[in-house]
Every structure is written in C-alpha cells, then in structure tokens.
Amino acid sequence: MVTTPVQETSKLNAIFDSCREMGQDPEFNVAKRWLEDHPGKKAIGCFPIHCPVELIHASGMLPLGIIGAGTQIEVTYADSRFQSFVCSIVKTTLELGLTNRLKFLEGMLFHSICDPARNLSSVFQRNFPDMFVEYIHFPQNFASPLARKYLATEYQRILDGLQQRSGHTPTVDDLNRSIALYNRIRAGLREIYRIRTDTPHMISAAESFVLTRAGTLMAPEEFVKIVEEVLAELPGRPSRPKDRIRVILEGSFCELPPVGLIETVEQAGCYILDDDFLRGWRWFTEDVPIRDNPLHELAESYSERAYYSGTKHDTRETKAAHLIQMVKEKKADAVIMQAAKFCEPALFDYALYRKALDEAKIPHLLLEFEEKTWIFDRARSEAETFVESLLFD
Ligand code: SF4
C-alpha cells in the first residue's frame, strides 16, 4: 500500500505522542508489562548520565533510565534527606524510591558524575538494603593508557555483581550481542540528530527528546524498531523551513528539562541543531567495535569514541574547544546554555564556555530550569529577546 505524506505525518506524530506519554509515567508501566511478559527477568535502574547498559542487558536483565520524575510526583519524603540547594533530579529520584515506585527494580547503578549523585547512591544503599546498588567510578585521566585498563576492570567488577543478581554469567558472545543491539540504537539516534542538524524543520528537538527518553524506559529490542520506523518515515514528512536562528543547546545532560521548555525555546524562534539531552544514552560517536574483549572495547570507546561532557574529565582537549568546534561544524548562530538549577557540573562549565564563546564572538544565553517547572513565561521572553537581538542586529 502506498502511504501519503499525511499518513506518514500522523504515524510519526502518533509515535512521538506515545513516547511523550511514556516519559511522563512515574509508574514505569511499559517496563512492568514487559517484565510480566518475561517471567524470571529483572530490571536495573540507571541514573544519569552514561551507564554501561550492555553489561546489564548481557546479564539477562533490562536496563531502565531512572532519571527523576519531573512534575509527575510531589516531593514529600526526600526533602528530609537532602539540603535545599541540591538539584531536583536527586530528590525526585529518591522520592520514587521512598514511595515504593522503584520496588520492581532489582538494583540501581550510579556513576561518578558529581557529589549529589555520589550521595544519592549512598542514600539508596542505606534506605533500600535489599536492592543491588552500585557506584561506577569512571577514570579521570584519559591521557594515561592505564585509564582504559582500569575502566575495563571496573566494568568486570560491576558485571560480577550483576551476574550474581541475575543468575546468568554472560559469555563474550552475549556481551557482543548486547553491544551490537545498542550500537544499532545509537547509530539510529545519531542519524536522527544528523537529520535534525541538516534539516531542522523535519524533526524538532522536543520530538527527538521524547523519542530518546522513551528508549530508556523499554526493552532495547522494542526501541530499535521504533527508531528505525522513525527513520523510515521521516523523509516523507511534509515540512517547510522557517525563519529561525540556529542554536546548539548545552547543559541539560543529566536532569531532564520539561518538554514544554524545549518547545518554548523552539517556538521562540530557535532551531536547536544539537543538544546534550540524554547524552549518556547516546554516548558514543561511532559504534563500539565487536571483538574478543568486549569490556576492553567498551572502556576504550568510553575514552576514545565518546562525546565530550560536563561530567567527563578529559584533560586532552577543553570542553569549550569541543563546543566551539561544534558551533562551527553545524553552522550555528548561537549557544543556549540550558542548565538545571544547582547543577554544579553544568554551571561550572558555563563559566568556561562563556569566556571561550565571548572570545570567539559567539552569542550565548543562559536559561536555568528545574524538571518540575511547568510555566515557561520567563524562559519564553528571554529566548524571544535573544532571538530578536540576533535576527535584527
Ligand atoms: S543535575 Fe547536575 S548536580 Fe544534579 S545529579 Fe545531575 S550532574 Fe549532578
């Protein structure tokens, strides 16, 4: 049957609508249904930003993105465990646990991204003693070849704990199958991002955000089909370019911005050509090689084939240099730093980015957000003023 552009559009819209709905479900119903349909399987939650999901998947378990709760739940109990000046994602993630919404998980993995994430890991260990809670220490000095060796050993330590919980010891083939599956997903998402950069009127940043988020909440075997369906449908989507400025958006790599905020920035007159939303789930710039030593390949790829990030301490090239290179490569007009309130890595980065952007004469705007924000008037007016200052300069 031949499909018309209108049918393709409504199919794509239906996909994005259902992804958006999934991202707003604090009960994780899609994952729970999958677990019911796969008796004996378990799920492991992954706090941002980058989690080696292949280790979980190869151990026979389901990796899920546990990334705060936005406006979906009230923080009632978690406030008593954290200071008031801590980012919102830490509190809402704990609130999910304290309200028994994470009871269906076998465990949670945290990573060495910042002090609040480290503390959250300890709070989870104390409050949920039956849960498998691990903290992955990523290396800090990538100039040393020992960093990769260390990380492969760290991955082995995590894998040992996972296999004890799942009862399945993954083989090299199991690990490589998981790497291949996630390679397919990441390659699809990279292609969607490429389409956005080249033709930003074809797919919005809000749409690719809800799609990527949904992928963290379901089985990768299901998600890969959705990503490939979006890629098949996109070329037929009718759309016309608008008169907008072209921006790179940075700073939202951990706490998730409300979808409404992303839409607000776009409606204010911005094409967001690239961003760092859910970057941990799109971590690699190319496929992880499938070879005889998968843990080494994952560690090597973390070091050599990963996007720069506010939480990855790589002294070989400054993050500001990466950002400016991206602005030039993507022919962007400006940078919007959209950082979560109290997010130290993002706000510290902004001090460095700001200096480098000023020197390179690249306009920039700082927008702070909280996942629970639902009124965007201030962001709208700041973004509109910024756009006008560029369009009518
Ligand atoms: S939002 Fe920032 S400060 Fe909070 S957990 Fe994430 S990286 Fe850490």
* Choice from 82, 89, 338, 341 to test ligand 1 binding pocket (greatest atom count within 8 A of CB): 89
Query: For residue 139, what are its two tokens?
Result: 């290396």
Q: What is the mean pLDDT of the chain?
A: 94
Percentage with pLDDT > 70 across the chain: 98
0.85 surpassed by pTM: yes
Minimum mean pLDDT range among 174-178, 354-358, 371-375: 371-375
In this predicted structure, what is the pLDDT of residue 161?
98
| CA-to-CA separations, 267 to 202, 205, 240, 271, 381, in angstroms, rounded | 15, 11, 15, 9, 11
CB hemisphere CA count around 310 (13 angstroms)? 29
Locate the ligand 1 atom nearest the alpha carbon of residue 311 and give its number: 7
CA distance 368 to 321: 23
| CA-to-CA separations, 240 to 199, 253, 275, 288, 330, in angstroms, rounded | 10, 30, 22, 36, 20
In eight-state DSSP terms, residue 109 is E
Evaluate if residue 51 carries a pLDDT over 90.
yes
Evaluate if residue 7 carries a pLDDT over 70.
no
Pick from 213, 210, 218, 197: nearest CA to 259? 210
Mean pLDDT of 122-138: 97
In this predicted structure, what is the pLDDT of residue 213?
98
Pick from 40, 360, 24, 53: nearest CA to 223? 53
Q: In one letter, which amino acid is 360?
A: A
Mean pLDDT of 82-104: 95
Nearest-CA residue for ligand 1 atom 8 is: 114
Measured N-to-C along each axis, helices 172-198 and 205-215 cross at an angle, to the nearest 10 degrees, of 170
301 contact partners, CB below 8 Å, separation of at least 6: 284, 288, 289
pLDDT band at 1 (very low <50, low <70, confident <90, very high): very low
Q: Which residues lie with the beta carbon below 6 Å from any ligand 1 atom? A: 48, 87, 89-90, 113-114, 116-117, 254-255, 311, 340, 343-346
* Choice from 46, 250, 254, 342 to test ligand 1 binding pocket (greatest atom count within 8 A of CB): 254
The string of pLDDT tens digits covering residues 152-211 is: 999 999 999 999 999 999 999 999 999 999 999 999 999 999 999 999 999 999 999 999
The string of pLDDT tens digits covering residues 134-153 is: 999 999 888 888 999 999 99
Mean pLDDT of 368-386: 94
| CA-to-CA separations, 61 to 227, 252, 270, 389, in angstroms, rounded | 21, 28, 40, 50
User: For the chain, how many residues are written?
Assistant: 393
Locate the ligand 1 atom nearest the alpha carbon of residue 344 and give its number: 3
* Choice from 85, 114, 115 to test ligand 1 binding pocket (greatest atom count within 8 A of CB): 114
330 within 8 A of 197, measured Cβ to Cβ: yes
Residue with tokens 């409606």: 267
Percentage with pLDDT > 90 across the chain: 87
351 Cα: distance to centroid of ligand 1 (angstroms):
16
The string of pLDDT tens digits covering residues 285-324 is: 999 999 999 999 999 999 999 988 878 877 787 889 999 9
Nearest-CA residue for ligand 1 atom 6 is: 254
**φ, ψ (nearest 5 deg) of residue 128:** -130, 70
Pick from 281, 258, 282, 266: nearest CA to 200? 266
345 Cα: distance to centroid of ligand 1 (angstroms):
7
Q: In which element (H, E) is residue 115 found?
A: helix 115-127
pLDDT band at 9 (very low <50, low <70, confident <90, very high): low
In this predicted structure, what is the pLDDT of residue 129?
96
Nearest-CA residue for ligand 1 atom 5 is: 117
25 Cα: distance to centroid of ligand 1 (angstroms):
21
